[in-house]
Amino acid sequence: MNTALYGQPTQPLVELSISVLENRLLEIDSRIAELAEFSFQTGVGSNGNRSDSHTEPNHREWFQVELEGFQNIDQIILVPHIVKDSKLGVISDGFPAELEIIAGTAMHPEGELITQFRPTDGDQHIAPYTFATPGLQASWIRIQATELSPRAWDLKYNLQLAEILIFEGNHNHALGSKVTASSQSRGYDSSRNERYLVDGFMPYTMNAASGEQSIAMMVRISEPHAPLAISIDLEDAYQLDRIHLHRIELSNNMPLSKGFDFGMPRRLLIEGSNQADFSESTVLLDLHLKNAYESGPIIMRDLNPQACRFVRLTAVEPFIDTLMPEPTIAFGFAEIELFSNQTNVAYQKTPTTNFEYSSYARPLTKLTDGQNFYGTILPIREWLEQLEERYHLEAERPLIRAELDRRYARQSITLRRMSWLAMLLTTGIVVVILVDRILRLRQIARIRERFAADLHDDLGASLHTIGLLGDIALSSVDSPERLKTALTRSRELTKRAGAAIRHCTDLQTMGRVGDLEQDIRRIAERMLVNSDYTISVQGANYFNKLKPRLKMDLFLFVKESITNIVKHSNADQVSIEMNANSSLIEIKIQDDGRGLPDDKEQKVPPSLKRRARVMHASISISHSAEYSTIIHLCRKNSSLLFWQ
C-alpha cells in the first residue's frame, strides 16, 4: 500500500497551498487508477453473522476467533456487512459505533486490549477496516462492540460483520477457525452463522486495476465415461497447505443469466501424488458444498499438508445444468491456485484433463494464468488493503476539489481587484513617464546649453591663441624657424578646435555618449595639454552597458572635474581611475595642484555635488601625500534605480 498517499497524518487542507493541493489531487487520481475497484457480489451467498438486537446502543456484543495454537499476527481485517439502501445506495450495516480488539491465550483467558477504534464515517464506510498488529502473538482474537449501531431495516442495534481475517504475511489464520459469539440473532436465518465469519467469502468480487481479462476454462459434457478430472504437474514436489478455487465468471448481465454456483461440483476430491498416474495418492481435501452458502467467488480451503508434485481435482458429484434441453454436466474454474508457504506454485503450470477438451476461447492455460474475468488475481490481503485505500482516497478527493474550487473563486475575485489596480497603476505609470519625459527634455536642453558654453569657452580660447600665433607669424617673416613653429602650433590648434566642434555636435545630435572611456580620453587629451595624466579603467564593458542618461552624467562629471583642474589647479600630474561592476560604480580623480582652500573641512564644489546628487551617488573630497586633491564619486547600483 502506498503510505505516501494514505495512512500518514496530513495537514488541514486550509493550511496547504494551491500547488500542494493540485499535486495532491494528481497523486490521488494517479494512485486510484492503480487500485482495485469495488465490485459487489451478486447472487446467493453467506452474510457473516450478527448478534441479538437491542433497543439501545450501550450493549457489549462480541465475536471470538479461536486459532490453532499460538500464532504470530501482524494484521487484522474486518469486513463490514453490506446492504443496499433505497436512498443512500450501498452502505455498511451494523458495524460497531465503537469497538475493541482483544487478544489472548489459553493461559491468559481475560485477554489484553490491542486497539480501541471509533469509526468517523459511519455506514458510508463500505471498505474493509485494517488494523496493524506488528509483533502480536495470540491464540484467540475477540472483536468486541462497546457501542452498537442501528441496522438498516428496523433501526434496532446489533453487531454485524461479514468476515474476520487474521493475517501473518499473506496467510489467513482465521480461515475455517472456530468462532464463538456473545449472542445469536433471534429467528432463523440460514445465511448467517458464526462459521460464515471465517469462511473466506466476502461481499466483494475481486476487480484489480491491472492485468488482462481472462475467461474461465469450462467444459459441457452430456454423458461422461468417468468422473471429470483436471491434473496439474507442479514440476517439483511442494508442501501444499492451501487451495483457492475461483469460480466461473457469471457474465455482466443484470440480472445474472446463470446461477451463482454454475459449474462448481457439489463434491470435489483434491488429491496429491508424486506419480503422474496417481497410483499412489493422498487426499489433500474432500470438498463438500452442502448448500448455497458454502460457495462463493473464491473458495479458500486449507489442505492436509503433503509434499507432492502432481495434483488432481476430480468432480465426484458434478454440477448438472438442468436448464439445457437435456441435463448436461458443466465443469470448470476461472483459476486454480495451489499455495506452498504463501506462494502460488501452480502459476503458469499447464493443466491436463482425463477428457477430450479443445476450446480456442477457453484454453486450459486460463486455469493458471493468474488472471480472472476482471484482470490480475491479487493476494487476498493486498486486495482488501487496496479497497480500503481506494475508499479513503475517494473520500478525500472531493474535499480537496471543493477546497481548490473555493481557492479558485477567491483568486478570481482577487484577480478582478488586481485588474482594477493594474489599470490604476498603468495610468499612474503613464503619468510618471510623461513627467519623466518632460524632465528629460529639460535636462537635455540644459546639457546642450552647457555644451554650447563649453564649446564657446574652448573654441574662444583656441581662436584667441590662433590669433596670437598669427601675430607672431607676421612678426617672424624674417625668422623662418619661429614662423614655422607658430604656423605648426596654429595648425594643431585648428585641428583640435575642429575635433571639439565635431564631438560636441555629435553629442548634441545623438543625445548620448558612445564609448565612455574613449570620450573621456579624448576630453583629457584636449584639455590636459599642460599636464601629465593617466587614465585607468576597470569594467569598461559594464560602463558601456549603462543607460545613456547615466553615461552622459558620468561623462559630464569627469569633464567638469578636469575643467576645474585646468582652470584652478595648475597641476602637473592628474590621475583618473574608473571602476564598475554589477554592484558599484566608482570614479576617483586626483591631481597635485594647488588644492582647495585649507579650511577645517574641505568642501565639494557645488557643481560636482549637484551632478552627484542627480546620479544618486555619494561624493567626497580628500588629499594625500602624493595628491593635493582627491575627488571620489561612488554610486551603489540598486534595482530601485532601474530607470536611470
Residues 183 and 230 in one domain: no
Highest-pLDDT range among 1-5, 252-256, 403-407: 403-407
Binned at pLDDT 50, 70 and 90, residue 242 comes out as: very high
Residues 525 and 640 in one domain: yes
What is the model's pLDDT at position 456? 60
Residues 186 and 253 in one domain: no
Is 331's pLDDT higher than 80?
A: yes
Helix axes 548-564, 516-527, angle to 10 degrees: 20
What is the model's pLDDT at position 511? 47
Average pLDDT over residues 369-374: 92
What is the model's pLDDT at position 315? 95
Mind listing the pLDDT tens digit for each residue in 259-278?
A: 778 889 999 999 999 999 99
End-of-domain residue from the set 151, 174, 204 = 204
Mind listing the pLDDT tens digit for each residue in 415-433?
A: 999 999 999 999 999 999 9
Grid cell for residue 612: 552627484
Number of domains into which the chain is organized:
3
Total count of residues recorded for the chain:
644
Q: Which residues contact 180 (CB under 8 A, 6 or more apart)?
A: 63, 64, 66, 194
What is the model's pLDDT at position 455? 62
What is the model's pLDDT at position 642? 44
End-of-domain residue from the set 335, 361, 377 = 377
Mind listing the pLDDT tens digit for each residue in 182-223?
A: 998 877 778 899 999 999 999 999 999 999 888 888 888 888
For residue 454, being part of any structural domain is answered with no
Residues 221 and 136 in one domain: no
467 vs 575, higher pLDDT: 575
Binned at pLDDT 50, 70 and 90, residue 643 comes out as: very low
- Average pLDDT of the residues of the chain: 87
What is the model's pLDDT at position 512? 53
Residues 175 and 293 in one domain: no
Q: Give the integer Cα–Cα distance in Å for 362 and 354.
A: 17
- Which contacts (CB < 8 Å, 24+ apart) does range 12-18 have? 13/399, 13/400, 13/403, 14/403, 16/403, 18/404, 18/407, 18/411
Q: What is the CATH number of the domain that holds 621?
A: 3.30.565.10
Specify whether the CB–CB gap between 284 and 240 falls below 8 A: yes
Mind listing the pLDDT tens digit for each residue in 610-636?
A: 888 888 899 999 888 889 899 999 998
In the chain, the percentage of residues whose pLDDT exceeds 70 is: 89
Kind plus residue range of the DSSP H or E element containing 392 = helix 380-475
What is the model's pLDDT at position 545? 84
Binned at pLDDT 50, 70 and 90, residue 2 comes out as: very low
187 vs 117, higher pLDDT: 117
Name which of 113, 334, 339, 338 is nearest 215 in CA terms.
334
Q: Give the integer Cα–Cα distance in Å for 128 and 83.
A: 14
Residues 175 and 242 in one domain: no
Is 3's pLDDT higher than 50?
A: no
Residues 274 and 176 in one domain: no
Residues 579 and 560 in one domain: yes
What is the model's pLDDT at position 292? 83
Residues 522 and 627 in one domain: yes
For residue 578, being part of any structural domain is answered with yes
For residue 440, being part of any structural domain is answered with no
For residue 458, being part of any structural domain is answered with no
Average pLDDT over residues 37-46: 87
Residues 173 and 308 in one domain: no
Is 484's pLDDT higher than 70?
A: yes
Mind listing the pLDDT tens digit for each residue in 517-571?
A: 888 888 888 788 778 999 999 988 888 888 887 888 888 889 888 888 887 888 8
End-of-domain residue from the set 335, 356, 377 = 377
For residue 162, being part of any structural domain is answered with yes
Average pLDDT over residues 453-462: 60
**Cα Rg of the chain, angstroms:** 49
Grid cell for residue 607: 557643481
For residue 407, being part of any structural domain is answered with no
Q: What is the CATH number of the domain that holds 142?
A: 2.60.120.260
131 vs 461, higher pLDDT: 131
Residues 232 and 95 in one domain: no
Is 460's pLDDT higher than 70?
A: no
Least confident stretch, 145-159, 334-348, 393-407, 494-508? 494-508
Residue 358's domain comprises 211-377
Grid cell for residue 430: 503613464
Q: Is the dihedral of CA 178, 182, 187, 191 positive or negative?
A: negative
In the chain, the percentage of residues whose pLDDT exceeds 90 is: 55
77 vs 496, higher pLDDT: 77
Place of cell 568642501: 603
Mind listing the pLDDT tens digit for each residue in 571-597?
A: 889 999 999 998 899 999 999 988 766
Residues 226 and 354 in one domain: yes
For residue 38, being part of any structural domain is answered with no
Name which of 447, 450, 463, 451 is nearest 498 in CA terms.
463
